[in-house]
Amino acid sequence: MKAASASEPLTTRVPSAWRRALRVLRTIIGEPDYERYVAHMRDHHPECAVPSQDEFMRQRMESRYTKPGSRCC
């Protein structure tokens, strides 16, 4: 990740800072990142079919809530 430099205009630095902050927040709360998943699948598993975004989200939710020990309650 490229750090913003002082020579970049504020209008460029602020939106990229917001994007980074949102990405960190989404990671903290566990929101799956479909675009990152697709890139990983294409780079590392090109022989596998990539599920649609809806199917991906359904699989993540199923995995999150059906694994024993994955929740505190």
On whether residue 57 sits in a domain, the answer given is yes
pTM of whole model > 0.75?
no
pLDDT value of position 9? 67
pLDDT value of position 19? 86
On whether residue 23 sits in a domain, the answer given is no
On whether residue 20 sits in a domain, the answer given is no
Helix-helix angle 53-66:34-44, to 10 degrees: 100
Look at the chain and report how many structural domains it folds into.
1
pLDDT in tens, 15-73: 888 888 888 888 787 676 888 889 999 999 999 999 998 998 898 888 877 876 655 55
On whether residue 51 sits in a domain, the answer given is yes
pLDDT value of position 48? 94
Q: What does each C-alpha distance from 67 to 12, 17, 63, 72 come to in angstroms?
A: 42, 35, 6, 12
On whether residue 47 sits in a domain, the answer given is yes
The parent domain of residue 56 ranges over 33-66
